[in-house]
Structure 1
Amino acid sequence: MKKVEIFDPAMCCSTGVCGPSVDPELTRIASAVYSLEQKGLDILRYQLTNEPEKFAGNPVVSKILQEKGPDSLPLVLKDGEVVNIGTYPANEELAEWFNLTPEELTKKPKVRLSLDIKSRK
Structure 2
Amino acid sequence: MKKVEIFDPAMCCSTGVCGPVVDPELTRIASAVYSLEKKGFQIERFNLSNDTSAFVENQTVNQALADGGPDALPLVLLDGEIVKTAHYPTNEELAEWFGTAPSELQEKPRVRVSVEFGK
Bin for the TM-score computed over the shorter chain: 0.7 to 0.9
Per-residue deviation, 1:13:
1.9
Q: Structure 1 CA distance, aligned partners of 2:6 and 2:38? A: 17
Hey, what does 1:57 align to over in structure 2? 57
Hey, what does 2:3 align to over in structure 1? 3
- Give the 3-state SS of the residue equivalent to 1:55 in structure 2: helix
> Could you tell me which amino acid in structure 1 is paired with residue 101 of structure 2?
T
Alpha carbons 1:14, 1:30 under 8 Å: kept? no
Hey, what does 1:116 align to over in structure 2? none
Matching of residues 25-44 of structure 1 within 5 Å: 25-44=25-44
Hey, what does 2:12 align to over in structure 1? 12
Q: Residues 19 and 107 from structure 1, CA distance in 2 versus in 1: closer, same or farther, beyond 3 angstroms? A: closer
Structure 1's consecutive aligned runs of 4 or more residues displaced over 6 angstroms after TM superposition are: none
Looking at CA atoms only, which structure, 1 or 2, has the larger radius of gyration?
1
Q: Structure 2 CA distance, aligned partners of 1:2 and 1:18? A: 29
Per-residue deviation, 1:18:
1.7
Matching of residues 1-121 of structure 1 within 5 Å: 1-108=1-108
Gaps of 5+ in 1: 114-121
Alpha carbons 2:34, 2:107 under 8 Å: kept? no
Per-residue deviation, 1:110:
7.7
Percent identical among aligned pairs is: 66
| Count of residues in correspondence between the two structures | 112
Per-residue deviation, 1:58:
0.3
**Deviation by residue 1:41-87 (Cα, 9 ceiling, x = unmatched):** 00011000001000000000000101110010000000000001000
Q: Which has the higher contact order (CA 8 A, sep 6+)?
A: 2
Structure 1 range deviating more: 74-83 or 15-24: 15-24
Structure 1 range deviating more: 17-26 or 48-57: 17-26
What CA RMSD, in Å, does the superposition of the two structures yield over aligned residues?
A: 1.8
> Could you tell me which amino acid in structure 2 is paired with residue 58 of structure 1?
N
Q: Residues 66 and 109 from structure 1, CA distance in 2 versus in 1: closer, same or farther, beyond 3 angstroms? A: closer
Hey, what does 1:117 align to over in structure 2? none
Alpha carbons 1:2, 1:98 under 8 Å: kept? yes
